[in-house]
Structure formats: structure tokens, C-alpha cells
């Protein structure tokens, strides 16, 4: 769904092999993958994990933290849902399952029309007004399922390009 292919695996592995011995190798590897592919291919996660002895969750956590990294190439809109504690206490879990169901994707995936990519994020500095989401550069607070649907509807008529 996110455009990865087996053919890029050797290229990914070469980047990992070249950089894995550097201190804090994860970031240089992710930067090089982003520069090479314009996103972090999904099949890179397991390869990086194996080389650096890190879990997929740890690697996804770093990818989500840095806005520079994208997990898909061509989608127009990046929708990020805050999964940090304060937002979870305010209903982010219900929101994320609604978002996944509505968009028909899991985290790190793009909709079939490549219009929207759904990503998790960990705190957007809007904790007292959660659940919080970010769409492109815009942060929305108190996002319930109704507000989410309304924001998503707007995305079909606006052009908020991901970085």
C-alpha cells in the first residue's frame, strides 16, 4: 500500500551496512533513506531493526518524532494523531480507531487514492486541549470523531502538502 518493493531491498541494506557502525546510527540511516527514496520504505524497518538490534516500535517512534521523515512517498496530506498520555486520557484511542476505520488504513499507511497518510505522533504541545491532531502545519485540538470527519472532508478541497 505504501509503494515499497523487494527491488529496493539491496539498496536499503547497502545504506544500513554503510552507516550501522556510526555512533547513534539510526538517525544517519533514516536520513540517508529519506534522501534516497524521499520516504522511509516500510521494509526498511525490519532491516534496520536487525542491524541495530532495535524493535520496530522504537524505530517507528523515532520516525514519528522527526517531521523530516515520511513513511510514504506521494500522499498529499499527512494526518498525525497524538498518541501521548494526555491526549490518550482525553479520548485519543477512540479517535485513532475511528480514523483508521474511516480512512481504511493503519498507521504509516496511505489511503488507496494516496490523498492521506496516517501517522502517529507523540505530543504536539497541545496537551490540555486533546485529543490533538496535526494536518500539515495545522494543529487541531479537542478532535472528536465528528471534528475529525469534518477535517478529513476539507482535505478533499484544500491543498495542505506534507513537507
For ligand FES, the binding residues (CB under 6 A) are 82, 84, 86-87, 123-127, 130, 132
Per-residue DSSP letter, 8: G
Q: How many CB atoms lie within 10 A of CB 148?
A: 21
DSSP codes joined into one string, 117-150: EEEEES--S-GGG-S-EEETTEEE-S--HHHHHH
* Whether the Cβ atoms of residue 76 and residue 113 lie closer than 8 Å to each other: no
Q: How far is the CB of 137 from ligand FES (least distance, A)?
A: 15
Q: Which is nearer to ligand FES, 2 or 64 (by Cβ)?
A: 64
Q: How many CB atoms lie within 10 A of CB 153?
A: 9
Q: Which is nearer to ligand FES, 33 or 81 (by Cβ)?
A: 81
Q: What is the four-CA torsion angle of 91, 97, 103, 104, rounded to 10 degrees? A: 180
Q: Which is nearer to ligand FES, 15 or 82 (by Cβ)?
A: 82
Q: Which is nearer to ligand FES, 62 or 123 (by Cβ)?
A: 123
Q: How far is the CB of 132 from ligand FES (least distance, A)?
A: 4
* Sequence-ordered list of residues with C-beta below 8 angstroms from that of 61, at least 6 positions apart, any chain: 122
Q: How far is the CB of 70 from ligand FES (least distance, A)?
A: 20
H/E stretch holding 116: strand 116-121
Q: Which is nearer to ligand FES, 54 or 88 (by Cβ)?
A: 88
Q: How far is the CB of 14 from ligand FES (least distance, A)?
A: 37
Q: How far is the CB of 126 from ligand FES (least distance, A)?
A: 4
Amino acid at each position: 500500500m505504501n509503494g515499497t518493493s523487494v527491488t529496493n531491498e539491496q539498496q536499503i541494506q547497502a545504506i544500513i551496512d554503510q552507516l550501522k557502525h556510526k555512533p547513534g546510527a539510526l538517525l544517519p540511516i533514516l536520513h540517508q533513506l529519506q534522501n534516497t527514496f524521499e520516504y522511509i520504505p516500510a521494509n526498511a524497518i525490519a532491516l534496520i531493526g536487525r542491524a541495530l538490534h532495535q524493535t520496530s516500535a522504537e524505530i517507528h517512534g523515532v520516525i514519528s518524532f522527526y517531521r523530516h521523515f515520511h513513511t510514504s512517498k506521494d500522499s498529499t496530506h499527512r494526518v498525525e494523531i497524538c498518541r501521548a498520555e494526555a491526549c490518550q486520557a482525553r479520548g485519543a484511542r477512540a479517535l485513532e480507531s475511528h480514523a483508521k476505520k474511516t480512512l481504511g488504513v493503519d498507521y504509516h499507511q496511505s489511503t488507496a487514492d494516496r490523498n492521506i497518510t496516517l501517522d502517529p505522533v507523540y505530543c504536539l504541545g497541545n496537551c490540555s486541549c486533546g485529543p490533538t491532531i496535526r494536518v500539515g502545519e495545522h494543529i487541531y485540538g479537542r478532535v472528536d470523531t465528528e471534528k475529525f470527519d469534518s477535517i478529513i472532508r476539507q482535505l478533499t478541497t484544500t491543498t495542505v502538502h506534507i513537507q
